[in-house]
Homo-oligomer: A and B are copies of this chain.
């Protein structure tokens, strides 16, 4: 396991150098199956299409269902099928990123396989990781799955439109997240009402601008 992670870190460092060279900001978006990662991406494409040059790498076990959803926004999207593998690794991302016109991009979003555990262990060369947690998953999840919150720079608490029908203590969830990762950005989001999408997109734009300034 240590050897696998060491080799992955080596390739992730190569990826990071490649992304730095090309001046593209890369975020690795993680979350459980059905947390709403693809829905967040759809809203992001919609909102930022005129402002940033974006592309998406979609990680999935077998299907290309998510990539098809993103393609509708006329944004370059590459599908990685892991053939049942539970996370993306740096080598998978290197293989497809090498074929992309990275120099033409401001922002590359990598949507990882739906899994709140394994993806957090594997860097892919990203500038930052982000986690999407659906409030339907329960407020106990940050403490139960701590690594993904420790590793991520931003947490999107998604589907807040159905908060009244769910037993989710927002205050307690936020306290747990900030205890795990002090100072972490936490945004309440709904892809149905659009709540929080502006805040998330502002955060992304600030990161992209920061990277451009070097």
Cβ-defined partner of A63 (8 Å) among B113, B118, B137, B143: B143
Most B C-beta atoms less than 10 A away, residue of A136, A161, A162: A136
Check if A146 is an interface residue, CB within 8 A of chain B: yes
The answer to whether B86 and A136 have CB atoms under 8 Å apart is: no
Give the residues in chain B near A136, CB-CB below 8 Å: 34, 134, 136, 159, 162
Number of copies of this chain that the complex holds: 2
Check if A65 is an interface residue, CB within 8 A of chain B: yes
The answer to whether A141 and B33 have CB atoms under 8 Å apart is: yes
Pull 26 A–B residue pairs with CB atoms less than 8 Å apart, ordered by A: A32-B116, A33-B137, A33-B144, A33-B145, A34-B136, A34-B138, A34-B141, A60-B144, A61-B144, A61-B145, A61-B146, A63-B144, A65-B140, A65-B143, A84-B117, A86-B117, A86-B118, A114-B116, A114-B117, A114-B144, A114-B145, A115-B118, A136-B136, A136-B159, A162-B165, A165-B165
The answer to whether A84 and B147 have CB atoms under 8 Å apart is: yes
Check if A206 is an interface residue, CB within 8 A of chain B: no
Query: How far, in angstroms, from A186 to B32 measured CA to CA in the complex?
Result: 22
Check if A166 is an interface residue, CB within 8 A of chain B: yes
Give the residues in chain B near A165, CB-CB below 8 Å: 161-162, 165
Check if A62 is an interface residue, CB within 8 A of chain B: yes
